[in-house]
Amino acid sequence: MVADRLLLLDTPSLYFRAFYGVPESVTAPDGTPVNAVRGLLDFIARLVRDRQPTHLVAAMDADWRPAWRVEVLPSYKLHRVAADGGDQTPDSLATQVPVIEQVLDAVGLCRMGVAGFEADDVIGTLATTARGAVDVVTGDRDLFQLVRDDKPVRVVYTAKGVGQAQPWDEAAVTAKYGIPGRSYAEFATLRGDPSDGLPGVAGVGDKTAAALVTRFGTVDRILEAARSGDDDGFPSGARGKVLAAVDYLQKAPVVVRVACDIDLPTHDDRIPATPRHPEELLALSDRWGLESALNRLLAALATTGAAQRTPE
């Protein structure tokens, strides 16, 4: 029996990378760009071959900027809001997202979004409740907070490309940021993250944030120590900076932390041996010119599935 291995895809992160990494000259027969679609299919094929999962979920953003996060911290992703109130996804990518969804569904890969939550929250809940090993594929450092050695949960970080992605464990997070391996959310809260509209604590950079997290563990404990007047463990000048940011520090952690306990729909995340809807998939392949990319994906899924079904 092959041990369970769950592959969790931060799908928006991957299709954005595909969109910017594959030329828009890659088009359907009618000239419509399908670079994100074809790039994503090739990414998934590569990941399935390399990671050999038994189960896979393509997590989606049902809500890219949830109201409950914005209510707590209005600056959350504010810089990404377009004039119409939506996100700033390029039009030529936005038109490809429904095609991606249709293709994944026809192949039979589990695609999951939950109303009011981001893909990160779907991933966090699935990673927390999974029975076996978990690989989280993302280009988003926020998901480093999910790394655990005991489960294990690894983050396959795609910043240098899917082909060069390496799994991060707790030791890798510690080596990079100088913090305990599971403390990335606390670190990011203190340091801030302009890409998500998180201001952080003014004057606190990576080094000071790492020192505070290593010494005190959580934002709550850092605040408690700062208020007590005890400077033991505080880098020079950090206490005043923390106290000046009390309002932010009381609110930000709930925004930064990935939700790990949301209600998920009933789903089948097993690797499909054959397409779930072959006729629909053929029609999509013809309409969008996806034959070669789909053949690579289906071959990877079939090979992986066959290996898992082979008796030991």
pLDDT tens, position by position, 92-119 = 999 999 999 999 999 999 999 999 999 9
* Higher-confidence position of 11 and 165: 11
Q: What pLDDT is stored for residue 235 in this prediction?
A: 85
The answer on 227 and 91 residing in a single domain is no
Least confident span in 8-12, 157-161, 185-189, 280-284: 157-161
Confidence tier at 309 by pLDDT (50, 70, 90): low
Task: State whether 231 and 291 are in the same domain.
Answer: no
Statement to judge: residues 89 and 222 lie in one domain? no
Residue 166 shares a structural domain with residue 188: no
Q: What is the CATH number of the domain that holds 247?
A: 1.10.150.20
CA dihedral 94, 95, 98, 103 (to 10 degrees): -120
Q: Is the peptide bond before 275 cis (omega within 30 degrees of 0)?
A: no
Rg of the Cα atoms in the chain: 21
Confidence (pLDDT) at 273? 92
CA distance 110 to 38: 18
Same domain, 44 and 170: yes
Q: Are residues 39 and 124 in the same domain?
A: yes
Q: Which residue has the higher pLDDT, 269 or 234?
A: 269
Shared domain for 243 and 268, answered yes or no, is: no
To the nearest whole number, what is the mean pLDDT of the chain? 94
| Strands of the 153-157 sheet, one edge to the other | 110-112, 55-59, 5-10, 133-138, 153-157, 166-168
Please tell me the pTM assigned to this model.
0.95
The domain that contains 74 carries what CATH number?
Answer: 3.40.50.1010
Query: Quick one: what percent of the chain has pLDDT higher than 70?
Result: 96
pLDDT of residue 228: 86
User: What confidence tier does 312 reach under pLDDT thresholds 50, 70, 90?
Assistant: very low
Range(s) of the domain holding residue 23 = 5-178+259-309
**Do 126 and 217 share a domain, yes or no?**
no
Question: Rounded to whole angstroms, what are the CA distances from 103 to 34, 111, 278, 279, 280?
Answer: 12, 10, 10, 12, 9
Is the pLDDT at 149 greater than 70, yes or no?
yes
Q: In the predicted model, what is the mean pLDDT of residues 10-29?
A: 97
Number of domains in the chain: 2
243 and 226 Cβ atoms separated by less than 8 Å: yes
Instruction: Examine the pLDDT at 269 and tell me if it is beyond 60.
Output: yes
Q: What pLDDT shows up at residue 231?
A: 62
One domain, residues 190 and 224: yes
Query: Is the same domain home to 161 and 301?
Result: yes
Which of 164-168, 264-268, 290-294 comes out lowest in average pLDDT?
A: 164-168
Same domain, 28 and 98: yes
